Structure 1
Amino acid sequence: MTNQLFESALGITAPWYVQSVDFDAANRQLNIAVDFVAGSRFPYAGISGEHPVHDTQIKRLRHLNFFQHECFLNVRVPRVRLPDGSVRLVEPDWVGQLSGFTLLFEALVLMLAQQMPFAAVARTVNLSWHRVHAICSRYVELALAAADLSGVTTVAVDETSYRRGHEYLTLVADMQARRVVFVTTGKDSSTMERFSACLSEHGGAPGQVSSVSIDMSPAFIKGVNEHLPEARLTFDKFHVVAHASKALDTVRRQQQKVDPELKGMRWTLLKDPNKLNLAQLTDLAALVSQFTTKRTARAWLYREQLREILERKQINVVSEMLQQWCTNVMRSKVEPMKDVARLIRRHFDGIVAWTQTRQTNGFIEAINGLFQAARRKARGYARFETMRTVLFLIAGKLDFSAFNSHAR
């Protein structure tokens, strides 16, 4: 009766059965022996019919814990003789993708690894860090190999650091599916060449990408123009405004050397006015009222005007107003803001495209934040391959069900 109960709990069906159950209290382990009915014949993938058993091997598989006790299945696995005389191993369909585990145990590790650093998962399931990494890496690579990228048309691209010494990796996200689809080393134009090749290898084509959201990195611009020929570049308005905010802060730092009233106003000037308290609003209003004489006030007004222009939705209106904004700034004496005007003129079409696409890098930058948080918790992932695995676990929305029905 006990053996039948464990068969039901484990999902073991004929010709497999539980031969014995042994509880080792000293080592806090439950060992379950699994065998098959004598005389059974087994199918083998790609070869028709069922084949006789030639001999057997004992495989020890880690399974889900039995309460707080580790559970192991000791399975007598057959090797069958095929019609051509060769001998092949036939494993039960609940054996995992990695040697030594069941599918259910691997599904547990995958679930935990999407929430915790590998070291924490290793402590939880009492495995080595390397075995946890091996399970996760195996499933990520299987899912990526089977990935279908034929529907990817709108992407966002960003880079993030992964190691000291200016070591970077580039991420590409499918903005419609809200998932990371490609990760590679570096942040130069060749990253787009590798992404283009990845599309071709997985059912897509470079010409299907119609829109790409990036920052104003010359390398990314060059890469997109060369390797994604049909893509329309969009420069996220938040990046443009961020450049204006940086110029505003530069003006403040220059002017506070001769104007003590500006000291302590950094965050008052940089924050969204809707997030300021009454005292900060009062100080800001007093400063802005002196815009004719104070360059910091004019810089703040230019930044706010730029923000308002980019909020509009009519492309012809935005284009006209943005051109006029650049002209006004270039005629002013606010030198750092002139650099922003020059930047906008160089990337004018991509900035105006924001009006229509409304495509931002917010999602992929949030992924960067999650990744950096995971890296800090893990006290640094040293290898690119490990970080690639982590990124896909966090944000790849990979489908593991084809390889493990328990992993969703």
Structure 2
Amino acid sequence: MVNVSWARPEIGFTLLFEAFSMLLIESEMPVSKAADIMDVYPQRLWNVFSYWIGKAHQNDCQSETTVLGIDETSSKKGHNYVTVAVDMDERRVIYAVPGKGADTIDAIAGHLESKGCKREQIKQTCIDMSPAFISGILHNFKKASITFDKFHVVKIINEAMDKVRKLERNEFAMLKGYKYTFMKSDNKLSEQAKEAKYDILTLLPNIANAYRLKELFAEFWTFKTKEEAGAYLSYWCDLVEESKIFPFIKAAKSLKAHWFGIVNYSETNLNNGILEGINSKIQLAKKRARGYRNINNFINMIYFIAGKLKFDYPLYST
């Protein structure tokens, strides 16, 4: 047995064979299907895939990272969570780790240090309101500001609106089936849906008051300084207290508990739109593969589709 320049030692495949296999996977083909075409066992192709991903990720430069977005996803429906760290400036995944607890932030911090990115270098983070994530950020990135994702803040308000609708539905059956009517803005509703919504608001004052609070909160996102945003949020919370609408009172308490991370949005404008776009790609890959039983394969696929890695296997041309 001798080593040759056109194959890796003791692998049994030529570099062009491996390059073509990677090309098939890059064209959004599931690994099992690519293995059928290449006439090899899927695990052998996974080994090839993992080698090139591992090599590219090891050589990936991440020392300039200053803004982190962190979110979790699952390898299959409702199971085996993975926490994903995204460089928000470069819009790419730089690290993924199994789990969704505070220890995942420890792992992200350790990984960045191994890449030459010191913890104090991270100036801003965008996360959801997970206590584990908050604790992990405060412990590992002491100089980083936290911005809570706009989507999760809006979700709290929408859930309060829907709880009011459900409470009113017990007395007024006409409210059944109008869940999204009160959550969507007018420009996303048909003329018929808008007319039905405003008829209900005219007839039911409690629903109308809740809807008014929901619409007033939308103004919060227009402010450009923390002072203005904080003043408006304080004003909105006072209106909620005066309304005595319990679901909104509960929502206001949650917002007060996360005050600074919400107000920070006015200056950072960080949100998980980038993370949502990346997560859409991940979910599509998961759907094509019908889930991932091997968590390492799932993480490597995340790097492949969302890491913007540079590979040095030979280019395959026909």
Per-residue CA deviation, residues 116-140 of structure 1 (Å, 9 max, x unaligned), is 2111211232222112111110011
1:213 corresponds to 2:122:
no
Match of 1:388 in 2: 299
Contact 1:150 1:204 in 2 (8 A): yes
Contact 1:173 1:180 in 2 (8 A): yes
Superposed displacement of residue 108, structure 1? 2.0
Give the residue type in structure 2 aligned to 1:263: K
1:224 corresponds to 2:137:
yes
| More helix, by proportion | 2
1:247 corresponds to 2:144:
no
Match of 2:190 in 1: 277
Contact 1:98 1:138 in 2 (8 A): no
Q: Of residues 52, 65, 77 in structure 2, which corresponds to 1:152?
A: 65
Output the CA distance in 2 between the equivalents of 1:111 and 1:310.
43
Superposed displacement of residue 328, structure 1? 1.0
Output the CA distance in 2 between the equivalents of 1:96 and 1:259.
71
Output the CA distance in 1 between the equivalents of 2:51 and 2:154.
42
Output the CA distance in 1 between the equivalents of 2:88 and 2:24.
26
- CA gap of 1:165–1:339, structure 2 versus 1, over 3 A, is same
Q: Of residues 16, 36, 39 in structure 2, which corresponds to 1:104?
A: 16
Output the CA distance in 1 between the equivalents of 2:156 and 2:29.
35
Per-residue CA deviation, residues 135-181 of structure 1 (Å, 9 max, x unaligned), is 11001111122222211111110011224664311001111111101
Q: Of residues 128, 145, 149 in structure 2, which corresponds to 1:236?
A: 149
Contact 1:97 1:103 in 2 (8 A): no
Which runs of 5 or more residues in structure 1 are unaligned? Answer: 1-56, 58-76, 78-89
Match of 1:306 in 2: 217
- CA gap of 1:255–1:152, structure 2 versus 1, over 3 A, is same
Contact 2:76 2:286 in 1 (8 A): no
Superposed displacement of residue 405, structure 1? 4.3
Look up the SS of the partner of 1:297 in the other structure.
helix
Contact 2:113 2:119 in 1 (8 A): yes
Contact 1:234 1:359 in 2 (8 A): yes
Match of 1:50 in 2: none
1:200 corresponds to 2:113:
yes
Superposed displacement of residue 96, structure 1? 4.2
Output the CA distance in 2 between the equivalents of 1:254 and 1:112.
53
Match of 2:177 in 1: 264
1:354 corresponds to 2:272:
no
Contact 2:164 2:210 in 1 (8 A): yes
Q: Of residues 273, 277, 287 in structure 2, which corresponds to 1:366?
A: 277
Look up the SS of the partner of 1:213 in the other structure.
strand
Look up the SS of the partner of 1:109 in the other structure.
helix
Q: Of residues 131, 155, 158 in structure 1, which corresponds to 2:44?
A: 131
- TM-score, length-scaled by structure 1: 0.73
Give the residue type in structure 2 aligned to 1:406: L
Superposed displacement of residue 406, structure 1? 2.3
Superposed displacement of residue 331, structure 1? 2.2
Runs (4+) of structure 1 moved beyond 6 Å?
Answer: none
Which runs of 5 or more residues in structure 2 are unaligned? Answer: none
Look up the SS of the partner of 2:254 in the other structure.
helix
Cα RMSD between the aligned structures?
1.8
Q: Of residues 161, 164, 179 in structure 1, which corresponds to 2:74?
A: 161
Superposed displacement of residue 299, structure 1? 1.8
121-130 or 218-227: which moved more?
Answer: 121-130
Match of 1:113 in 2: 25
Match of 2:208 in 1: 297
Output the CA distance in 2 between the equivalents of 1:305 and 1:165.
35
1:122 corresponds to 2:35:
yes
Quote the sequence identity (%).
33
Match of 2:227 in 1: 316
Output the CA distance in 2 between the equivalents of 1:406 and 1:210.
38
Contact 1:158 1:365 in 2 (8 A): no
Larger RCO (CA within 8 A; separation ≥ 6):
2
Give the residue type in structure 2 aligned to 1:194: A
Match of 1:334 in 2: 245
Contact 1:241 1:303 in 2 (8 A): no
- CA gap of 1:391–1:97, structure 2 versus 1, over 3 A, is farther
Give the residue type in structure 1 aligned to 2:93: V
Superposed displacement of residue 344, structure 1? 1.1
Output the CA distance in 1 between the equivalents of 2:147 and 2:195.
37
- CA gap of 1:173–1:98, structure 2 versus 1, over 3 A, is farther
Superposed displacement of residue 315, structure 1? 3.0
Look up the SS of the partner of 1:268 in the other structure.
coil
Output the CA distance in 2 between the equivalents of 1:173 and 1:111.
25
Look up the SS of the partner of 1:120 in the other structure.
helix
